[in-house]
């Protein structure tokens, strides 16, 4: 009996560690929303393009390039999904809530939770950690006419996320502004 209990505890702990080590969110398919949106962003940058970016920036001594090179070095994937609509509540709140619910699991820690009742806007900023090291970042921002999800997988220097956003021309969303305020 004690041996079974020890095995169950070990499996549970191993599962928790696996979740903490993988900061990739499972995103619903937002394919239908792109047709309904007036503006959409669908970016997924994997390890190979990020590695190439780091190599290209290797020869530059420009302070922005050095900062981006340092940030990109530990990142495995960057995922951005953002949709803007010309009417309220075009998207399913359940889709966004399914992403938010993943962030309550082990290995995630909330940095900021903003609820703006006047503008009916919700912003959540989370980090995934593994042994006191940030291994991911997630930002979920929703508004009746738009929502954005940013998921960065890999070692993240939170102070340099804004530099990355600027360098890649990623959209300045309420989510990124909230992340900056959280830091």
How many structural domains are present in the chain? 1
Q: Which residues contact 77 (CB under 8 A, 6 or more apart)?
A: 24, 44, 45, 46, 47, 50, 151, 152, 153, 154
pLDDT tens-place string over residues 101-137: 999 988 999 999 999 999 889 999 999 988 878 899 9
DSSP state of 88: T
* 125 close to 148: Cβ distance less than 8 angstroms: no
128 three-class SS: strand
The pLDDT of 28-43, averaged and rounded, is: 90
Backbone angles phi, psi at 75, to 5 degrees: -90, 135
pTM, two decimal places: 0.73
pLDDT tens-place string over residues 171-182: 554 445 555 555
Residue of 91, 99, 80 lying closest to 35 (CA atoms) = 91
The domain containing residue 109 runs over which residues? 2-182
User: For position 149, what pLDDT does the model report?
Assistant: 95
Token code pair at residue 65: 């390039």
pLDDT tens-place string over residues 44-69: 999 888 878 777 776 677 777 777 77
Binning the chain into helix, strand and coil, the percentages to the nearest 5 are 45, 30, 30
């Amino acid at each position: 009996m004690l041996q079974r209990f020890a095995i169950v505890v070990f499996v549970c702990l191993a599962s928790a560690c696996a979740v903490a080590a993988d900061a990739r969110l499972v995103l619903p398919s937002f394919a239908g929303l792109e047709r309904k949106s007036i503006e959409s962003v669908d970016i997924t940058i994997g390890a190979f393009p990020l590695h190439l970016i780091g190599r290209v920036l290797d020869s530059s001594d420009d302070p922005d390039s050095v900062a981006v090179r340092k940030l990109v070095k530990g990142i495995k994937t960057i995922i951005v999904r953002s949709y803007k609509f010309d009417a309220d509540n075009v998207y399913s709140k359940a889709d966004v809530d399914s992403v938010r619910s993943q962030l309550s699991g082990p290995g995630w820690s909330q940095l900021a939770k903003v609820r703006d009742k006047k503008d009916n806007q919700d912003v959540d900023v989370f980090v995934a950690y593994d042994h006191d090291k940030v291994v991911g970042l997630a930002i979920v921002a929703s508004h009746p006419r738009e929502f954005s999800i940013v998921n960065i997988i890999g070692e993240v220097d939170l102070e340099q996320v804004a530099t990355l956003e600027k360098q890649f021309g990623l959209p300045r969303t309420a989510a990124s502004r909230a992340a900056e305020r959280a830091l």
